[in-house]
Amino acid sequence: MVLSEPRAMAKHIEPGMRVALPVDYAGVSMAMTRPIIEHGAGDLDLVCVPTGGLQVDQLVGAGLVRTVETSAVSLGEAGGAPRFNAAVKDGAVRLKDATCPAIHAGLMAAQKGSPFMPLRGLIGTDLLRHRDDWRVIDNPLADGGDPIVLIPAIKPDVTIFHVPIADRFGNVWIGRRRELAAMAYASRTVLVTVERIVEESLLADEMSAAGVLPALYVTAVARAPKGAWPYGLWGEYPADSAEIARYAKAARTTDGFSAYMAQAQMEPA
């Protein structure tokens, strides 16, 4: 684990990489969004775990995204994701529409070192019809018939998220947001921003250890206070829905998006 800062961490991202990002409420590292855009590596294949929002919309708006694998993209109460929706209409991004448990299944396959995981449901959906990487087989443990879908392993090159605490050994506290661990297990590189860094090991007592993603899986950590803003961070601060709405309105046009993104990154103190 390397103690780093967001701009330096963004350099881990290379053109064409597969990048996993968490759902709005799990701990989105908004603090990494502008450094990633400044760094400029494009043709990214995003994996939303299992849905995307502001960060995905901004990366799409910045022209860095080739494909989006997701169960949904939206700004929640603030409505549809404007740059994403425009890119869909223009055909500027390729869609890999999924359903939440299929994203989880693909990551679980990678976590387990397995080539695939089976998943119930899906049969008869247009999601399945458009996914040539998913495969339907007859359940080999049934007496015949019983079709079931196999989801191939999702192995991101990079996972990026934001959580409250890291210790100086590189252990990060993810609490009950265990999809963050699943993403990390499946990924080669894991970049984490945190509210604060503590001296004592988070593994030193069982109460804090229970919510830890061990340093073994963490490539670099950077301090970024209010790093999820304008999203909230569980146990720390609520979402700033006025700011998300402000973005939603601004980003209806490319010019409005550019003007918004040109502003200072952080919330005024």
Partner 1 sequence: MAEVLPREVLICTIARLLDGVRHVAVGASSPIPAAGAMLLRAMKEAGGAVGPRISILGSVEHNFFTNGSAELFDCAGQGRIDAFFLGGGQIDGFGNVNLVGAGDYPRSSVRWPGSFGSAYLYFVVPRVILFREEHTPRVFVEKVDFISAPGVSPEGVFRSGGPVALLTGKGLFRFDKTRPGFELESVHPGHDLAEIKQATGFRFEHDAAPQQTALPDRATLDLLRGRVFDELAETYPEFAAQMRRDLGTVDA
Interface with its own copies in residues 82-101 (CB under 8 A): 101
Instruction: Return the residues of window 98-127 that contact partner 1 according to CB under 8 A.
Output: 98-102, 104, 108, 110-114, 119-127
Instruction: Return the residues of window 109-138 that contact its own copies according to CB under 8 A.
Output: 112-120, 135, 137
140 binds, among its own copies, partner 1, none (CB under 5 to 8 A by kind): its own copies
Instruction: Return the residues of window 192-211 that contact partner 1 according to CB under 8 A.
Output: 203, 209-211
Q: Is residue 236 close enough to count as binding partner 1 by CB under 8 A?
A: no
- Smallest distance, its own copies to C-beta of residue 206, A: 4
55 binds, among its own copies, partner 1, none (CB under 5 to 8 A by kind): none
How many chain residues are in contact with its own copies, going by CB under 8 A? 36
Q: Is residue 235 close enough to count as binding its own copies by CB under 8 A?
A: yes
Q: Comparing C-alpha atoms, which of 166, 174, 20, 42 is closest to residue 107? A: 20
Phi-psi region of 124 (alpha: psi -120 to 50; beta: other; left: phi over 0): left
103 contacts 69 by C-beta, under 8 angstroms = yes
Q: Is residue 204 close enough to count as binding its own copies by CB under 8 A?
A: no
Instruction: Using the CB atoms, write b or e for 31-60: b if 16+ within 10 Å.
Output: bbbbbbbebebbebbbbbbbbbbbbbbbbb
77 binds, among its own copies, partner 1, none (CB under 5 to 8 A by kind): partner 1
Angstrom CA distances, 49 to 13, 46, 66, 120, 209, stand at 18, 10, 17, 19, 24
